Amino acid sequence: MSVRILALVGSLRAGSHNRQLAEAAAKHAPAGAEIELFEGLADVPFYNEDIDVEGSVPAAAARLREAAGGVDAFLLFSPEYNGTMPAVLKNAIDWLSRPYGAGAISGKPVAVVGTAFGQYGGVWAQDDVRKSAGVAGGVVLEDVKLSIPGSVTRFADTHPADDAEVVTALTEVIEKVSSAAAVAA
């Protein structure tokens, strides 16, 4: 049986390098791991407890929760926006944290990776994502990290799926997430 991992990408941009990184993870997932890229984060409204009411949860938020409920672990891809995580990723974590104590992220392994233009590859944003996912109830894999700097130049002519160093690092990340999910099961 395969470990199912849901990938959430914190960039909505069509040419996003983090989106490409997630695509590379899905393409090169090792045997025994299946990466599902969630489509539709742009449609999920900002979390508001007033609209998070049983029977009337917005359809896009319900789809996110349903997708998250059916996986064993999460792989979150975060760019760095003004030194922190993008709102779309924080919003997804907020929706997945509810209902309090029983959200779809609760008790599941979570790894955070990404790429950014800066020289540190978005580590500040990734640290913020780890913090938020942990507070939301996810089991954050603090030792599973991948920050790729200089995304604009590094991936100008090469898709991350065609970068041998990136593929090797992503494969290691996915293997660690898969192992953590198997232990948690």
CATH of the domain at 176: 3.40.50.360
Neighbours of 85 (CB within 10 A): 27
User: Mean pLDDT, to the nearest integer, of 20-48?
Assistant: 97
Neighbours of 8 (CB within 10 A): 26
Neighbours of 46 (CB within 10 A): 12
First to last CA, the chain: 12
What global pTM score does this model have? 0.97
What's the chain's Rg over C-alpha atoms?
A: 15
- 59: alpha, beta or left? (left if phi > 0; alpha if psi -120 to 50): alpha
Tokens linked to 82: 């003004």
What confidence tier does 101 reach under pLDDT thresholds 50, 70, 90?
confident
pLDDT at 63: 98
Domain of residue 140 covers: 3-184
What confidence tier does 82 reach under pLDDT thresholds 50, 70, 90?
very high
Looking at the DSSP assignment, which residues form a beta bridge with residue 147? 114
Alpha helices in 108-163 (DSSP H): 123-135, 151-154
Looking at the DSSP assignment, which residues form a beta bridge with residue 52? none
User: Mean pLDDT, to the nearest integer, of 65-91?
Assistant: 97
> How large a percentage of the chain has pLDDT more than 70?
99
**What would the pLDDT profile of 120-150 be if each residue is shown by its tens digit?**
999 999 999 999 999 999 999 999 999 999 9
Looking at the DSSP assignment, which residues form a beta bridge with residue 145? 112
Domain count, the chain: 1
